[in-house]
Amino acid sequence: MVAKLVALLTDRDRLVLDPRPAGRVRDRLLDHRNVIRAEVTTTASLPAGTRRSHRGQPLAFDRPHHFLTTKVDPAIIGGVVTRIGSTVYDGSVARQLERSG
């Protein structure tokens, strides 16, 4: 069913006009497969071996399927911001300064 929808949208050049349907299909497929989506934001690129933990604390990737993306944002000054699904764990220096100031 999804393949037919994508083929139809591609044949009519509709994916070029609006990429949101493809993103929605991907999101629904990941939900159906029970895949955990997470995003880690740091001030510098993470080394390849650091994807499963930060400061020795395991992330919620004990399930066999996860989809991890990384971002670099110098504005957080230091630390890490982790988003797992709709939950955000903000351990950034910028957030700590905001709280104390």
pTM of the predicted model as reported, rounded to 2 decimal places: 0.59
For the chain, give me the number of helices (H) and strands (E)? Answer: 4, 6
Number of domains in the chain: 2
Range of the domain at 57: 35-101
- The model's pLDDT over 53-86, given as tens digits with 9 standing for 90+, comes to 444 444 455 555 667 788 999 999 999 999 887 8
Task: Report d(CA 17, CA 23) in Å as an integer.
Answer: 13
Q: Could you tell me if 69 and 23 lie in one domain?
A: no
Q: Could you tell me if 47 and 69 lie in one domain?
A: yes
Q: Could you tell me if 8 and 47 lie in one domain?
A: no
Q: Could you tell me if 48 and 65 lie in one domain?
A: yes
Q: Could you tell me if 50 and 90 lie in one domain?
A: yes
pLDDT of residue 93: 94
Q: Could you tell me if 29 and 55 lie in one domain?
A: no
- The model's pLDDT over 26-49, given as tens digits with 9 standing for 90+, comes to 778 877 777 777 888 999 987 777
Q: Could you tell me if 47 and 7 lie in one domain?
A: no
φ, ψ dihedrals at 5, nearest 5° = -60, -45
Q: Could you tell me if 50 and 95 lie in one domain?
A: yes
Q: Could you tell me if 11 and 56 lie in one domain?
A: no
Handedness of CA 2, 67, 75, 44 (dihedral sign): negative
Q: Could you tell me if 88 and 58 lie in one domain?
A: yes
